[in-house]
């Protein structure tokens, strides 16, 4: 079984260049290095506005706007609660009321998988903050935000689908959610706020 949300695809000269955005598209060198939260926010923003195809120029305009809200400091933007609260405020301006749901520190593989599956099944992407992960497959993803957009499962394996620097990637869920004292992962997803 496979479930994958319909996420933004970025085009340039009618060529697909991004499954989501890429922080390297920023003109500012610090944004290129530390702008992953802004890219993630842009990814979510287009999803909740039901935008599925944009040009690089159009998406970069959104990225630059989000950068004003999610400007990285000296240590980037490793703030789970601040990210979620700020994003919900941004969406309120678009008359979309969302409420964050957090999993700050998964206690088990199954807890992490249940969180992702429920979110995707409810049509909400998952924001994943990887503060540290020892897996070689995630060597370039330490201190980094990515967007989980789906999952696949069969009798032998469970896979997580995610957007990372404009690339659609898949990883064995047992590798990603290897719960130990070394790996530090945090997640937040959204739900529609019934009070508004």
- In this predicted structure, the answer to whether residue 15 has a pLDDT above a threshold of 80 is yes
* Three-state SS annotation for 63-84: HHHHHHHCCCECCECCCHHHHH
Q: Are 182 and 190 in contact (CB under 8 A)?
A: no
pLDDT exceeds cutoff 60 at 196? no
What are residue 172's DSSP bridge partners? 159
Mean pLDDT of the chain: 96
Give mean pLDDT, residues 10-32.
96
Q: Rounded to the nearest 10 degrees, what angle do helices 36-48 and 56-69 cross at?
A: 110
The residue extents of the domains of the chain are 2-192
CATH for 2-192 (1.10.150, 2.60.40, 1.25.40, 3.90.70) = 3.90.70
Which contacts (CB < 8 Å, 24+ apart) does range 44-48 have?
Answer: 44/87, 44/125, 44/127, 44/147, 44/190, 45/87, 45/90, 45/91, 46/7, 46/8, 47/5, 47/7, 47/8, 47/125, 48/91, 48/94, 48/96, 48/98, 48/190
Q: At residue 150, what are phi and psi to the nearest 5 degrees?
A: 180, 180
Torsion, CA 117, CA 119, CA 121, CA 125, rounded to 10: -110
Give the pLDDT confidence of 150-178 residue by residue, as tens digits: 999 988 899 999 999 999 999 999 999 99
Give the model's pLDDT for residue 193: 72
Which pLDDT score is estimated for 194?
Answer: 62
pLDDT tens-digit series, residues 73-106? 999 999 999 999 999 999 999 999 999 999 999 9
DSSP 84-97: HHHHHHHHHTTT--
Structure tokens of 152? 């696949």
The model's confidence at residue 24, banded by pLDDT at 50, 70 and 90, is very high
Which residues are paired to 163 by β-bridges?
147, 168
How many residues in the chain? 196
């Amino acid at each position: 079984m496979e479930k994958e949300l319909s996420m933004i695809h970025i085009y340039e000269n009618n060529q697909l260049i991004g499954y989501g955005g890429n922080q390297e598209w920023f003109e500012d060198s610090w944004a290129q290095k530390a702008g992953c939260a802004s890219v993630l926010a842009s990814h979510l923003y287009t999803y909740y506005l039901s935008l599925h195809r944009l040009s690089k120029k159009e998406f970069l305009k959104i990225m630059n706007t989000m950068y004003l809200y999610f400007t990285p400091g000296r240590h980037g933007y490793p703030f789970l609660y601040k990210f979620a609260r700020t994003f919900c405020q941004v969406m309120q301006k678009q008359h979309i009321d969302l409420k964050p749901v957090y999993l700050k520190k998964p206690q088990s593989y199954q807890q992490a998988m249940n969180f992702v599956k429920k979110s995707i099944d409810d049509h909400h992407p998952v924001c994943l903050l990887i503060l540290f992960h020892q897996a070689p497959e995630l060597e370039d993803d330490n201190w980094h935000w990515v967007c989980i957009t789906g999952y696949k499962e069969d009798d032998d394996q469970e896979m997580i689908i995610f957007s990372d620097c404009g690339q659609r990637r898949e990883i064995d869920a047992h590798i990603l959610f290897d719960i130990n004292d070394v790996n530090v992962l945090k997640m937040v997803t959204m739900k529609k706020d019934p009070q508004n």
